[in-house]
Amino acid sequence: MHTDLSPHLHTPECNSLIDLLKKCHDENKFAKFFGACNTFDQQVVVCLKKERQERSRRNREQAREKHLQIRERMRQLDAEEASKN
């Protein structure tokens, strides 16, 4: 089972592979159950995995940046508090 295959969620590369898989399923109503579309399916799986890995990489980077900003803000607050005392 794949994640949501809506076009707005994926790259143009993956969308073209998804379209090929859907076309294969439409053209092979019964043969799809016996592996007629497995090559397209595997290509879609690989593409979706690359998308997920890239999304995870970006999210980790954003989290690092946000964490650094929070640390810097905490240092500033600590410095302000120390200067008041």
Residue 1 falls inside a structural domain: no
- Residue % of the chain over a pLDDT of 90: 81
Residue 18 falls inside a structural domain: yes
Domain that holds residue 13: 7-84
**Which two structure tokens, joined as six digits, stand for 76?**
């500033």
* Dist. CA 17–CA 24, nearest whole Å: 11
Q: How many CB atoms lie within 10 A of CB 79?
A: 10
Residue 17 falls inside a structural domain: yes
Residue 68 falls inside a structural domain: yes
**Which two structure tokens, joined as six digits, stand for 49?**
């995995």
| pLDDT tens, position by position, 24-44 | 999 999 998 999 999 999 999
Whether this prediction's pTM lies above 0.85 is answered by: no
Q: What is the domain count for the chain?
A: 1
Residue 2 falls inside a structural domain: no
| pLDDT tens, position by position, 64-79 | 999 999 999 999 999 9
Maximum distance among all Cα pairs of the chain, rounded to whole angstroms: 78
Going by C-alpha positions, the residue among 23, 21, 62 that lies closest to residue 44 is 21
